[in-house]
Amino acid sequence: MNMNRELLPIISSLLHQTSERGSAGLLFLVIDRSGSMEPRTEAVIELVNGVVGQAQRAPGAENGFLSVITFADEVTIDRRPTPLAAVGLCEGYNPDGSTALYAAVDDTLGLALSFLDAVDRVGSGAPVVTCSVVVLSDGGDNMSLDRQYSVQQKAAIARARGFVLRAIGIGISHYELSLALGFDVRHGVTVQPTQAGMDEATTMVSRTFSHTLSGTVIGVDGHTFRGPSK
């Protein structure tokens, strides 16, 4: 992801669209696309499509936005933050390569926090925004280890601003994954690398998006409340 090239137009477009609505719930879905995920190709496509389908039927869907970021050797914005009504089916997901986990989460949190900074600068009349970042991975980083400290710093800021940050470990400990990213371990889940496990992950992501659409914020103490992430 070339942040300098892609960040500003994304933020500008998103700010315009959310300001028109008055409030917005943003879900950033960050998915491992490394070679080890190849056996779960179809399951990941079904997960994304299942989450979209459930979210489009949820209360508050008219104010929902979804962004999908995948990572292997490099980080790719597969879907910019898009209104739920305009999100179509996911068809392409081709696992290959290594695991730039920290780079992906660092870039995603940077995008989300920069957007909220832009919202803050609007002042009176700014939209009320809630954000969630959900990371799905079946392994640790082996490509961008130098970005871990930056990830943890941004995660601390995001948690303080009311972001929901969830790590879903596919066949690996969500506890270790959450700690590595600076996420709250209480909000993570470990699922088995099976169809049943991926179904469980779909449910977790959909539940997270539902909270986001309803304006529910999870504070640093783990309790939920309603209000803007500002």
Could you read off the pLDDT of 134-169 as tens digits, one per residue? Answer: 999 999 999 999 999 999 999 999 999 999 999 999
Q: Is domain 3-226 given the CATH code 3.40.50.410 in the classification? A: yes
User: pLDDT at position 178, please?
Assistant: 97
How many CB atoms lie under 10 A from the CB of residue 114? Answer: 15
Give the number of C-alpha atoms closer than 13 A to the C-alpha of residue 88, restricted to the C-beta side: 3
Give me the residue spans of the domains in the chain: 3-226
Please state the pTM of the whole predicted model.
0.90
Tokens 């969500």 — which residue? 174
User: pLDDT at position 59, please?
Assistant: 87
**Mean pLDDT, residues 181-199:** 94
Q: What percent of the chain has pLDDT over 70?
A: 90
Average pLDDT, the chain: 88
Q: What percent of the chain has pLDDT over 90?
A: 66
Q: How far is CA 106 from CA 29, 33, 39, 112, 216, in A?
A: 13, 16, 26, 10, 24
User: pLDDT at position 202, please?
Assistant: 94
Q: Nearest 5°: phi and psi at 224? A: -100, 150
Q: Nearest 5°: phi and psi at 48? A: -60, -45
Give the tens place of pLDDT for each residue, 114-141. 988 888 888 877 888 899 999 999 999 9
